[in-house]
Chain A
Amino acid sequence: MSAAVWRVLRRLGVSLVTLLGAVTLTFFALRLVPGDPAFAILGAGRQQVDISPEVLAVVREQYHLDDPLIVQFVLYLGRLLSGDLGTSYVQEQPVSALLVAQAGPTLALALLATVLAVVLSLVGAVLTAGRRLPSWISSALELVLASTPVFWLGFVLMLVFSVWLRALPIIDGGDLRSLVFPAVTLALPTAALLLQVLRQSLDDALEQPFVLTARSRGLGGLSVTVRHALRHAAIPYLTMLGFSFGALLGGAAITETLFSRPGLGRLLVESVASQDIPVVIAVVLVSTAVFILVNTVVDLLYPLIDPRMRERAATGARR
């Protein structure tokens, strides 16, 4: 048991170090921008807008720009730890307040899209694995969906269902119905990737001896797939799920812009346009933290699914 705890702690440690690295990278990236960092933070780096000396002084004070770089960095970390993500000088309010206001819609969108992608890929893979023609059709469909730009997919869906069939509203009305389009748009490419991986590993699993054993006990095709092969295929599937969550976060920015939905992604895009750098950095850090968190959870789930990994982890920890 202690080996398991140790393993979890170790994994969390790695994630924290990675997150710290990401924070460090964003901090120093800002300093790579040519010119006065105060101007970069204020978003006037390239526009040469007149900024009053008072505002400049406030920024210099807040970011301790007159101190040595290392002191700036440590103070910056301290502020991040206390939840202070800085101030948006364009919107004139704390960045954290902006984030909190926009996090809900993105969370709903990402969750629904993930659930949709998982359901679609599970059903698709179970129904097509080990069957020649359905597999072929499904893999062609996966290729098309994985190659389609998210924003274009959204267009086509809008065109077909709203403009031609008039089944769903285009404009976001704030209700659950208006979440359907963006979520489906976001889910389809992810579902295609997941389906590819899952069918591949299901096909591999179905060739294993234990499947033959199960069949010889009189189990039918589908129940073998569901009861035995699926568990076998879970690890690569989860890895892909964690990995594709990053694409989902990027896709959220596109989907939210396309459907004019509120959310973190749209906040990011708008902040880039208005050169609101503190907000940009905050959204980047938050999405990276979420991405790291998701992948940490995926990693920690492995031993729960595969008993062999539990043993390996235990022996590995003792070494």
Chain B
Amino acid sequence: MLLLFVVSALWPELLAPGDPLAADRGLVLAPPSPEHPFGTDEIGRDVYTRVVHGARSSLALGFGAVLIAVTVGTVFGLVAGLSRRVVSTVTLRIADIGAAFPELILAIFILALFGGGLGTATLAIGIAGIPSYVRVVRAEAVKVKASAYIEASYGLGLAPRAVLLRHILPNAVRPVLIIATIGLGGATLAGAALSFLGLGSPPPTSEWGAMLSNARNFLTLGWWAAVFPGLAITVFVISSTVIGRWINASREGRA
């Protein structure tokens, strides 16, 4: 299922050869039919084609945001976990302050200051997600640092930097990647929410949240224009969550 989403994000033409912006004035808000399996929207664009093409912006937003949150979160988490007490406390306090904002509200605030658009929205959700990753990475780093094999590698004469890169980083990051897989769904949801509020991707790009926002005005006339993009979001989030949990479970099984 997830593969299907990745394919539609990378090569939407494979699944939907049509043009997502092509409007057929004669077929405004047509119900689902063999020709238009998800129906058409208020200006006659094929909803199925738009949903498939929308995967790119929606997924790019989710992946991008998680990437930002994980990368920055990991750096600061390692700093908090490994450096001297003062630096560690200060980093954690800042993370606490960041976590004190409700995530979506923080993202909206960033967008308000620096303007809307797909890029800023990705950045905003990424930044809002950083604090939680700082905490996780720090906890892991502290745990790894205290373990015997780190002491052993110091004992073998490895330089601190080598220990950090070769032992602490991989071991502290692995659990984070699992959380990130599950977090991907949340970030995609938040991105769609921002687009829905009109702060994410600008029209006429096909993006799931923006499509929903459009379709809101025609709910009584054509439910299909709203139902299918939403279904796409939900199914994507479910599949990424399930995969994240599955990786998590199989990892715990090994340990």
Which residues on A are within 8 Å of B, measured CB to CB? 17-19, 21-22, 25-26, 29-30, 32-33, 40, 46, 143-144, 146-152, 155-156, 158-159, 163, 245-247, 249-251, 253-254, 257-258, 268-269, 271-273, 275, 277, 280-281, 283-284, 287-288, 291-292
Q: Contact check, B234 vs A152: say whether CB atoms are below 8 A apart.
A: yes
Q: Contact check, A291 vs B97: say whether CB atoms are below 8 A apart.
A: no
Q: Contact check, B100 vs A271: say whether CB atoms are below 8 A apart.
A: no
Report chain B residues within 8 Å CB of A33.
113-114
In Å, the complex CA distance between A273 and B227 comes to 26
Which residues on B are within 8 Å of A, measured CB to CB? 93-94, 96-98, 100-106, 108-115, 185, 189, 192-193, 196-199, 209, 212-213, 215-216, 219-220, 223, 226-227, 229-231, 233-234, 237-238, 241-242
Q: Contact check, B105 vs A249: say whether CB atoms are below 8 A apart.
A: yes
Q: Contact check, A247 vs B108: say whether CB atoms are below 8 A apart.
A: no
Contact of B105 among A144, A258, A287 (CB under 8 A): A287
Report chain A residues within 8 Å CB of B237.
147-148
Tell me what chain A mostly uses at the interface: helix, strand, loop, or mixed. Answer: helix
Report chain A residues within 8 Å CB of B101.
22, 246, 284, 287-288, 291
Contact of A272 among B104, B108, B231 (CB under 8 A): B108
Q: Contact check, B103 vs A247: say whether CB atoms are below 8 A apart.
A: yes
Tell me what chain B mostly uses at the interface: helix, strand, loop, or mixed. Answer: helix
Closest residue on chain B to residue A268 by CB atoms: B108
Report chain B residues within 8 Å CB of A158.
219
Min CB gap A202→B, angstroms = 19
Interface centre among B112, B219, B229 (most CB of A within 10 A): B112
Q: Contact check, A253 vs B94: say whether CB atoms are below 8 A apart.
A: no
In Å, the complex CA distance between A277 and B110 comes to 11
In Å, the complex CA distance between A287 and B103 comes to 11
7 residue pairs A–B, Cβ–Cβ below 8 Å: A46-B115, A155-B226, A159-B226, A253-B108, A254-B104, A272-B108, A275-B112
Closest residue on chain B to residue A24 by CB atoms: B97
In Å, the complex CA distance between A154 and B171 comes to 42
Q: Contact check, B233 vs A284: say whether CB atoms are below 8 A apart.
A: no
Q: Contact check, B234 vs A144: say whether CB atoms are below 8 A apart.
A: yes
Contact of A254 among B93, B111, B197, B242 (CB under 8 A): B197
Min CB gap B104→A, angstroms = 3
On whether A155 and B189 interact (CB within 8 A), knowing A147-B234, A249-B105, A269-B108, the answer reads: no
Q: Contact check, B230 vs A40: say whether CB atoms are below 8 A apart.
A: no
Min CB gap A211→B, angstroms = 24
Closest residue on chain B to residue A280 by CB atoms: B112
Report chain A residues within 8 Å CB of B96.
18, 21
Q: Contact check, B234 vs A272: say whether CB atoms are below 8 A apart.
A: no
Q: Contact check, A254 vs B193: say whether CB atoms are below 8 A apart.
A: yes
Q: Contact check, B193 vs A246: say whether CB atoms are below 8 A apart.
A: no
